[in-house]
Amino acid sequence: ELFGHVRGAFTDARSERIGRFELAHQGTLFLDEIANLSLASQASLLHVLEEGVVERVGVRSRL
């Protein structure tokens, strides 16, 4: 939900979905209970915060 995905990125990805980061572009995104995220999700979140780069699931281009 945070990153979004493209059609066909995984089995149930029937259409493209914009993630919360894109929806909040130039705005505020409140993240609560980050400690409850999986370690992989925490690493992805850290990458976004450090690099300012969001990548949808299933695509290599940066947003």
Range of the domain at 16: 4-51
Does the residue 27 lie in any domain?
Answer: yes
Number of domain units in the chain: 1
Q: How far is CA 30 from CA 2, 14, 36, 45, 61, in A?
A: 11, 28, 15, 13, 25
Q: Which letter does DSSP use for residue 35 in this model?
A: G
- 54, 47 in Cβ contact below 8 A? no
Does the residue 21 lie in any domain?
Answer: yes
Give the pTM: 0.69
Model confidence pLDDT, tens digit, residues 1-59? 888 887 877 788 888 888 898 889 889 999 999 999 999 989 989 998 999 888 888 87
CB under 8 Å to 42, separation ≥6 — which residues? 34
Q: Which letter does DSSP use for residue 24 in this model?
A: T
